[in-house]
Amino acid sequence: MRLLNTDNFEVKEFRDDGAPRYAILSHTWDEEELTFQDMEGTHVVNKKGYQKVKRCCSVAKADGFKHVWIDTCCIDKRSSTELTEAINSMYRWYEKAQVCYAYLDDVTGGGNREHLEFEFAKSRWFTRGWTLQELIAPSNVVFLGKDWVKIVLSQCGSPLYTSSESIRRDFYDMGPSGTSGESGLAIRRITTPRLGGGEGQRLCEDERFRVRLLTRGLRRTWQVLVSDYINVLLVFVPLGIAAGAMHWNPTAVFVCNLLAVWTLAALLRSAMEELPAGLGGTLGGFLNVTFGNAALIIVSIVALRNGKIRIVQLGIQGSIMSNLLLVLGFCFYMTGAMNYGRLVNFVPVVKRGQSSTPTAASTTPPSYFFDVEQDGDGDFERSKCEVLLHIGAEILLLAIIVAVCAEYLVNAIDSFTETTHITQNFICLILLPMVSIPLIKTTRVSLLYGVDVAVSMAIGSCMQIALFVLPFMVILGWVIDQPMTLQFQSFETTLLVLSFSVGNFGVQDGRSLLFKGVLCSIAYAIIALKAFII
C-alpha cells in the first residue's frame, strides 16, 4: 500500500505488514480530485482537490500521525491490476488504520445543534455505498465538517466519533440513518434474552441465526428488485416459462424468454460481482473473472446440449463484437458528449486494448471487495457465513431460472425465424449477445469513474469470452459428443476481423472522442443490418 507523508506530501510504498501507524480518509469524490500521477507532477497545487489533501494531512499531523491514506492519490488507477487489488484490500486497510476521518463536505457545522444534527443526518456521505465498509471497518471514526473541524453534537463538547467494535458484529443489522439520539445515527439491533446454560444459549443463537437469515434474505430480495428500473422486465420470467410450458405462439415464447434472460443475466452478473466480498479477494475474484459471463455460458450449454452448434458459435462471436463495438461505442460517445471540447485520455488501457490482437489471433486462424481476514469474533464470522449463503443461494436460483428460460428460448428460435422471417444470424449475432454485455452499467462506470475503467471492462469481457467461454464450449462439446469446433464460416470470421480492427482503432491512441463512439456505433449498425439481410 502507498501512504502520504503529512509533512512533505510524498507518496511512499509500504508492505501491508510493515506499514507504520497511519490515519485514513473517507470522503465523497468531487471535481478535480488529486490522482497518483498528479502527486508526481509540479502543478498539483492548482487543482481544487489539493486543498482537501492538504487539510487532511494537517488534521492527521495535529493528531500525531506522520502518514495518511487517501484513495484518490494513493492508488495508481492507470493500472487495472493495482486498482483491482486495491479494491479487494480496501477493507483491510481501513480496518488497520488507527483512525478514520469521515469528511462530510456538506455539513457546515454552523447554526444551532438541531440544525447541525439535521445536516449530519442528511449528509451525502451516508448515501455512498463505499462508506458502509469505511464506517464499520476502522476501530475509530472521527467525523469532520466542511471546514475540517471535528463535528460536535454532544452537549459536553467532545467531537463525534464511533467505535466499530459493536457495529462489526451487526454488519447487516444496521438500519437506516436518522436523527435518533445524540449522534444522529440510528443503528437497529436484534437482541435475544440470554438463557440459563450453554445449550440454551446455543439454541437461542441458532434460532436468531435462522431468523436473521430469512429476514435479510427477504430484505436483500426487495433491495435487488427496486435497485434498477430494468427489473420491471422480471414480469416476463413467469410469462416466458408459462408460454414455453403451455406451447404458446413461437413468437410469444421467444420474445418473453428473451426478455426474461436479458433481465436475469443482469441480476446474475451483479451477484457474481459480490463474490470477492464474500469469499475474499483471490478466490472470489477468480470465480468472478471466470464466470463473469455466466448467463452466456448457461445459454451456450443449453444450445450445445440441444445440438444447436451454430447458435453457440454465433452467440459467442456476437458477444465479442457487441463488447468491442456497441459497449465501447457507447462509452466513447457518452464520454465525448459529456466532455465536449475537452480531450479525455485513457493511456493505461492502451496496452490492454491492444492485447485484443492476440485474442483475435486465437480465434480467426481456425476460421474467437474486501478481503476479510478471519478474526476471533464469532458473530462477525457468522455474518460472513450468512453473506456467502445469500450470494450462493441467489446465484444458484438465478442460474436455474436462466437455464429454464434458455431451454424454451433456444427451442423457439427455429419456429420464430420461420414465422417472422428474421434470420438466425441476426438473432444469434445481435439479440442473444445482449445477455453478456452490461451496456448500461459500463456506460455508468465510464461517466462516474472514467473511460479507462469502462474500456478495461469491455476489453476484459472480450478476452474472457474468447479465451475461456469459447474453448470451454469446445471441450464440453467433445465430452457430450457434440461437434462443436472453432471452424467458423467466412461471413462471421470477416465480421469478427472488422470488429477487432475498429475496436483497436478506438483504443490504440488512448483518447476518447465523440467521433470514435459514432464510428463504433455505425460499424455495429452495419454488421446488424448485414446479419439481418443474410
DSSP 253-312: HHHHHHHHHHHHHHHHHHHHHTHHHHH-HHHHHHHHHHTTTHHHHHHHHHHHHTT-HHHH
Mean pLDDT of 291-298: 80
Q: Does 189 score more than 80 pLDDT?
A: no
Q: What is the rounded CA–CA span in Å between residue 23 and residue 56?
A: 9
Indicate if the pLDDT at residue 77 is higher than 90: no
The pLDDT of residue 262 is above 80: yes
Q: 23 pLDDT exceeds 90? A: yes
Hey, is 170 helix, strand or coil?
coil
Pairing of strands 11-13, 23-26: unpaired
* pLDDT average, residue stretch 162-185: 41
Query: With bands split at pLDDT 50, 70 and 90, how would you rate the model's confidence at 365?
Result: very low
Residue positions counted in the chain: 534
Residue 373 clears pLDDT 50, i.e. is over it = no
Task: For 72-138, give the secondary structure using H, E and C.
Answer: HHHCCCCCHHHHHHHHHHHHHHHHHCCEEEEECCCCCCCCCHHHHHHHHHCCHHHHCCCHHHHHHCC
Q: What percent of the chain has pLDDT over 90?
A: 9
At 411-421, the pLDDT tens digits run 998 888 888 88
pLDDT tens digit sequence for 197-231: 444 444 445 555 555 556 666 666 666 666 667 77
Residue with cell 472453432: 486
**Cα–Cα distance, 471 to 456 (Å, whole number):** 22
Task: Give me the residues paired with residue 99 across strands.
Answer: 23
Nearest Cα neighbor of 323 from 366, 363, 353 is: 353
Is residue 479 a contact partner of residue 493, using CB atoms and an 8 Å limit?
no
Mean pLDDT of 450-464: 75
pLDDT exceeds 70 at position 309: yes
Name the phi and psi angles at 249, rounded to 5: -55, 135
Q: Is the distance from CB of 499 to CB of 392 less than 8 angstroms?
A: no
Question: Would you say 160 and 183 are in contact if contact means Cβ atoms under 8 Å apart?
Answer: yes
Count of alpha carbons within 13 Å of 522, Cβ hemisphere only?
A: 7
Q: Which of 434-438, 444-448, 500-504 has the highest mean pLDDT?
A: 500-504
Q: Any long-range contacts for 309-312 (C-beta under 8 Å, 24+ apart)?
A: 309/477, 309/482, 309/483, 309/484, 310/424, 310/428, 311/410, 311/413, 311/424, 311/428, 311/432, 312/473, 312/484
pLDDT band at 277 (very low <50, low <70, confident <90, very high): low
The overall average pLDDT reported for the chain is: 73
Q: Which of these ranges, 83-92, 278-287, 454-463, has the smallest mean pLDDT?
A: 278-287
d(CA 115, CA 111): 6
Q: Residue 84: pLDDT above 70?
A: yes
Q: Which residue has the higher pLDDT, 317 or 391?
A: 317
- pLDDT tops 50 at residue 296: yes
pLDDT digits (tens, 9 = 90+) for 387-398: 667 777 788 888
Looking at residue 493, its pLDDT comes to 80
pLDDT of 404: 92
- The percent of residues in the chain predicted with pLDDT above 70, rounded, is 66
Q: How large is the average pLDDT for residues 446-455?
A: 66
Per-residue model confidence (pLDDT) at position 167: 42
Task: Please compute the mean of the pLDDT values over residues 462-482 and round it to a whole number.
Answer: 88
pLDDT at 24: 92
Q: Does 373 or 518 have the greater pLDDT score? A: 518
Among 453, 409, 103, 387, which Cα is nearest to 265's?
409
Full-model pTM: 0.54
Per-residue cell: 443 = 456506460
Cell of residue 160, nine digits: 463525534
**Tens digit of each residue's pLDDT (9 = 90 or more) over 107-121:** 876 666 777 777 887
Overall average pLDDT of the 84-104 stretch? 86
Residue 319 has pLDDT above 80, yes or no: yes
Work out the pLDDT band at 358, boundaries 50, 70, 90.
Answer: very low
Instruction: Looking at 112-225, list the stretches that DSSP marks H as alpha helix, in order from N- to C-terminal side.
Output: 113-121, 131-136, 165-169, 198-225
Kindly tell me if the per-residue pLDDT of 379 is higher than 60.
no
pLDDT at position 282 is 55
| Averaged pLDDT for residues 20-28 | 90
Q: How confident is the model at residue 242 (pLDDT cuts 50, 70, 90)?
A: very high
Q: Say whether pLDDT at 534 is over 80.
A: no
Q: Higher-confidence residue: 61 or 436?
A: 61
Pairing of strands 344-345, 99-103: unpaired
- For residues 227-242, give the mean pLDDT: 83
